[in-house]
Structures are given as structure tokens and as C-alpha cells.
Chains A and B, each alone.
Chain A
């Protein structure tokens, strides 16, 4: 992940030196405050939740075990600061949590519901798809649950097995009315979460759980928002465009590092928002490079990569030098000990990059 790369660099003093000009500060931290703190992913999420609850008196957060800080410590300290009528536990019922959150949002509150693992989101699937996503549409604009944010840890973690590793983002991208967001670093996590909470549409916010402790970065301490619907080019290149999100961005970076030694220059794009996704940024990049590779942990068939490839194939048909490729999880349930075979790891991405270049 980007965070890991940052961890190998020498820690810079808060971006300020005796010769820094005001213009440089503004340039380096557009819309963000200059002071930063070296934190990990879950602390960045915690920061965002703190700011959200502080700035919006109608913001409430709840879920299973949220009160004591949550199983990943994302909500630690919130109960003490904001009290038990704004930070509270729910019983073990995802469908109830989602429905309850939708109702609260319909009344104008800003509920931030937590589903403890994305693998458990399926009992809530009906509420999200049929109630949350369609509220505004079916009431002709009279009601909406725009204040709703559902945040949930997702993704492979090395030992999670069937029910602690899934990446179900694709199911939700298929639902008009929702937004689907997934950060790949602590700094983006905080900014994207604040944007998601403040966006006036129901947002499903996925957090790659493997990054909670391992991704560490300088994150601005203040209030800032990272725009939704905008992808980020995290590495410039000329030969092939690699598109990913969440933890897979780090894998793409490592693959790009590896092929760089052989003279292949990769452009790496972190999509950040999957619904609505930033077609323009990806299309411009593919128009430049002529090659596309999409990579995600979720299974290949009907993963979100299919949508990207389909759209770009049309948008950039005449620019393409090779068929777009996808490097994804296998079309199997997420396995237990056989996880390393299932995942789209670095060596597979490298292999596909070379295949694409040799087309």
C-alpha cells in the first residue's frame, strides 16, 4: 500500500521548513491543513468519525461492539466524548442495523452504521438495495436517506477464510441510488469517509481490513474532504494503465516497481469511488498508454473490473493496443489455506502486464 511505501521514507517534519513559502503550503495541501500526524488506517478512520460527530450534532454511529471501540478500534474514544445516545451498540442483527439506520436517515439524521465484517452484510442486502437506494426515487423526492453511511471492513487478511475475507463491492455497484467508496491509504480513508458521511446520498464505505494497522502515513489532523467520484493517479507512466482499489493498489504499485526494472512504465490509478466511477481519468490514461489492466480481489466473473473493461473498451476502442485484461480473484468461494492461490498477487499482475505489452 502507499502507506507501506511512506513507511520506508524518512519521516518529514510536518511538511514545513524554514524556507517554505505560503504558496508552497497551499500547493502541497490544497484544501487540507498543513499539520499532519503519522497514523495508521484505523486511527485515520477514528479521526474522521471524531470530526463528523463533532461537526454535525445529528451524526450518530452504531453497530455491533461499537461502544468499546469496535473490533478494529475504529470507534475507540467516541463513546466517552459524545455519549451513549450518539455512540451505541446494536444487537446482533445486520438487517435490523441497516433498517434502523435508514429510518434514522429518513428523519434527517446522519447515521454511520457499522457492519462488523463485509461478509455479514448480506442479511442487510435487502434493506440497502430496496429501502435505502430507492427511497428518494420511489417517493418522488419527498423522502431520502442521504445522511446514511454504512462502513464495513472488507478484503483478504491472510487467514480470514470464507467469512472474514470477502470483497462484495460489486454487488452494490449494481444498485442505482447508492455510492460505493473504498480508500487505499489512511489519508484517503479520512478524507473519503468525511466526504461519504457528508454526501447527501447513501454511501457504502469499504475499509480494507488488512490495512488497519499496517498502513501508516502522514495524515492531516484537521478537517478535510477528498472528493467522491474522482480517481487518483498514484503513479505516472506511459506503457500501460493499471486500475485498482483498496489493498490491491499496493500490489499494483509493487508490480509496477518490478517491471520498471525492465523498462516498462506503468500508470497506476486508484479508483477510490466505484459508484460513480471516474471514467474520464481512466479513459484519458488509456488513451495515452493504449493498454488497460484492472485488478481486484473479488472473483473475476462480474467483478467490478468487468464494468471498467466494458466501458473503456468502448470509450478507447481506437486507442487500444491490446485487449484489456483483468487480474482478479478466482471464481471460487474465498478459500482458507489455499488463499495464496486464489489472490491476484504481484507475480500474476506482472505476468499479465508483460502479456499485454507483448500482444
Chain B
């Protein structure tokens, strides 16, 4: 009754005194209303691992009911007003559980790819994303499939986030015709046109000017969409990135430059390769924001902010502070340029999946058994995908001469010797 409500209010007010950035808010239990609008966030505030009985009670409702999560690490801002973005983001039980599922299945997929590579089922180059999953998952929470994404060769999870299936990723890695690019691209070249995913690009930094071009098309067509052009800390020193940024800024294009800073460009630490390792400031005249890329909620919040910002003002540079557990690629053990303690330290302190798991436990969004069930489903999904991919056929040899030109019109393509001529289709 009233007594409980007063106690809740008292605890809530005490909590608000403890936190350094806590404007007045009304607990849900006392009539505050959940809202999706950034400006009017009301609701019980929770942060991972910080649970009270009041919170638990407040969250006993429907799984789509919104509540707020605190983002512990403050955003760093460059040329943006201090109050432009708050440290809280609205979410719901359904969303948190879906985050967990997506993060977990991405992790299992990458681990499975590691095993397949070592078993020589996957050959060539394989750049794994485990550790960085929060970036993909958080991004997608604030984007639609009409917003565009273009990224580097570390694209397996980005592809998945854009609506791809684990089977398509595995088949592509194994070089089979059921793969994302019909087996013709491999690990580094996965594309998904229907969901505005422009790959999957091998040459470092070359995808960023392409992202600006996509943003130009969006603005020109009057679409309410933006483009996220992802690149790494190593690529941040490519000249073409700055050329394209200048263009984007001149023409106010809705391009978000997302630097996935995992702190090592292959084996080179960021401070060795870059004079200015604060990549969110690299835009100089273009505003920037630095985000804790291991916190899926921070990513969600920042990308929502970025989208609304660039649609109005032009480009924005976003630095995701993230980390990869594997080396640069499967040929790189990842231990010659960083200590094992560093890697295991990040795993313990900042792992994206564990944070969400702790939040689920603290807020009792699901029981341990339910979480285990999700994990089991994800594992099965990966296993099934691998089995299906292994059984699927390789691309037909005719693919060798397909898709070289748009309209070959029966043109002759010269083969290996003067007799091997191929008639390209009409």
C-alpha cells in the first residue's frame, strides 16, 4: 500500500542522491510513465548489477514495458554540446533478452568459425569479431533496414546483424554456393542488398568513401535514412577517409563515420600508428563522440543519437571503444603484441555478453534456466548451420565468368590459353 510506495520513493531519492548525474524522475510504481522519447525518460532506473527490490517489483510487468538502463562510462564529446546526450537509454525485457540472444549467437558463430578454420574447412583469410559483438547488436537496435551499413573485412557479425543467417555465413566461409555471396566472396566479402548491407570489403579504408556515396544517394532521394561507414583504428590513417569526410561535411551528408577502435591495427597498437589516437576527434571540424563499444546499451543510445544528428546536421564521427579477443586474423595468435593478461582482463571486466547476463540476473528478467535454454538454442542453431553448410555444394565453375560485366552481350572472354574462350551470356 502507501507505506511501500513511500519506502520506494525514499529509496529512489536516496539512489538519486548517490548518482552524480540524476535529474528528477518519478518511479514507475508511483505513476511515472515509460516513454520511448529521449527527452522525457521516466521510469525506474537500473544499471547492470545494481538491483533493488524496488526495481524488481517495478519490472514485473509486460516484457515490452520500457525501463531505463544507466550507461556507466560517460560519452566523450568533440564539438558537441555537453547535454546533447544523456547517460540513460530506454529498453525492455524483450529487448534485453534479444540482445543476449544475438550477442551469444554471434559469439558462438565466431568460435565455431575458429574451430572450422583450424580443421581446414575454412581456408584463406578469416577475421573474427568475438569481443566486438556489442557494436553490431547495439547499432541494429537504433537503425532500420533502410539505413545502410558498409564495413571492413571483419564482417561476419555485421552481416548477421543485418538480417543474414548463420547458415549463409558458414556457407560463405566454406566457399559454398548457399553462402552470402554465393561462395564467391569468402570471409571478407559478405553482402546483403535487401537489407542495405554493402559488405564486407578487403582493402583497408576503401569502403568509407563508398559509404559517403551511399549517404549522398540517401539525401538526394530525400530518404529519412543514414549510412554507417565502419572502419578500424588502423584504417583511420588512410587518406581517402579524410577526403570523403570533407565531401560529406561540405554537402551535409547523413554519414556516420564509425571507427571500431579495437586498439590494434593488426599488430600495431593505436598509439604507435596514430599521432592522435582519440579517433572521435579526428574529424576536426566534424563533431565526434566516443562510446563504450562493449556496452550494447551505450551503442544503442549513441547510434540513435547519431542517426538523428546526421539527418539534420551532416556527418558525425563515432569512435567505438571495443576489443577483439582473437588476433587480427586466424594467422595471428594475437599474443605477440599484447599480453594474455590484457585479453583475459577485458574478458573479465568488459565482456559484452556477461554484462547483459548480469543485468538479466540482477533484474530477474529471466531465470538462469531460461538463459541456459537460450544459450542452448544458439549453440544448436550454429551446429545445424555448420552441418547444413558442410553438406551444401560448391559454386559451379560457370560462376568464374559470371558477373564480370553488366551486359556482356555474348562477349568472348579469353581464358587461360588461346583455345579456352568463354561466351559470356547475353
Is there an interface contact between B336 and A68, defined as CB atoms closer than 8 Å?
yes
Is there an interface contact between B237 and A92, defined as CB atoms closer than 8 Å?
yes
Q: Give B378 Cβ to nearest chain A Cβ, in Å.
A: 28
* Chain A residues positioned under 8 Å from B274 (CB to CB): 91
How many chain A residues have a CB neighbour from B under 8 Å?
44
Which of B184, B204, B404, B413 interacts with A92 by CB under 8 Å?
A: B204
A15 beta carbon closer than 8 Å to chain B? no
* Chain B residues positioned under 8 Å from A163 (CB to CB): 188, 202-203
B213 beta carbon closer than 8 Å to chain A? no
Stretch of A188-196, A211-219, A327-335 on the interface side: A327-335
Q: Tell me what chain A mostly uses at the interface: helix, strand, loop, or mixed.
A: loop
* Chain B residues positioned under 8 Å from A92 (CB to CB): 204-205, 234-235, 237-238, 265, 268, 273
Which of A119, A123, A325 interacts with B417 by CB under 8 Å?
A: A325
Chain A 327-347 residues near chain B, CB threshold 8 A: 327-333, 335-338, 341-345
Q: Give A354 Cβ to nearest chain B Cβ, in Å.
A: 11
Is there an interface contact between A300 and B240, defined as CB atoms closer than 8 Å?
no
Which of B185, B205, B400 interacts with A341 by CB under 8 Å?
A: B400
How many chain B residues have a CB neighbour from A under 8 Å?
44
Stretch of B295-303, B341-349, B391-399 on the interface side: B391-399
State in angstroms the CA–CA spacing of A96 and B205 once bound together: 14
B333 beta carbon closer than 8 Å to chain A? no
* Chain B residues positioned under 8 Å from A337 (CB to CB): 175, 183-184, 186, 394-395
Is there an interface contact between A336 and B336, defined as CB atoms closer than 8 Å?
no
* Chain A residues positioned under 8 Å from B239 (CB to CB): 93, 95-96, 123
Is there an interface contact between B183 and A93, defined as CB atoms closer than 8 Å?
no
State in angstroms the CA–CA spacing of A345 and B419 once bound together: 15
* Chain A residues positioned under 8 Å from B123 (CB to CB): 158-159
Is there an interface contact between A91 and B237, defined as CB atoms closer than 8 Å?
yes
Closest A residue to B189 by beta carbon equals A162
* Chain B residues positioned under 8 Å from A120 (CB to CB): 203-204
Which of A65, A123, A341, A348 interacts with B268 by CB under 8 Å?
A: A65
Interface string of B252-266 (1 = CB under 8 A from A): 000000000000011
Is there an interface contact between A330 and B188, defined as CB atoms closer than 8 Å?
no
B267 beta carbon closer than 8 Å to chain A? yes
Is there an interface contact between A161 and B188, defined as CB atoms closer than 8 Å?
yes
Which of B186, B272, B273, B417 interacts with A327 by CB under 8 Å?
A: B417
Is there an interface contact between B414 and A330, defined as CB atoms closer than 8 Å?
yes
* Chain A residues positioned under 8 Å from B175 (CB to CB): 336-337
List the 4 closest A-B pairs by CB distance, nearest first. Answer: A337-B175, A159-B124, A163-B202, A159-B123
Q: Can you list 30 A-B contacts (CB < 8 A)?
A: A64-B268, A68-B337, A91-B234, A91-B237, A91-B273, A92-B234, A92-B238, A93-B238, A96-B239, A120-B203, A123-B239, A160-B125, A161-B125, A161-B186, A161-B188, A161-B202, A162-B189, A163-B202, A164-B124, A164-B125, A300-B415, A325-B417, A327-B416, A327-B417, A328-B416, A336-B185, A338-B400, A341-B400, A352-B417, A355-B419
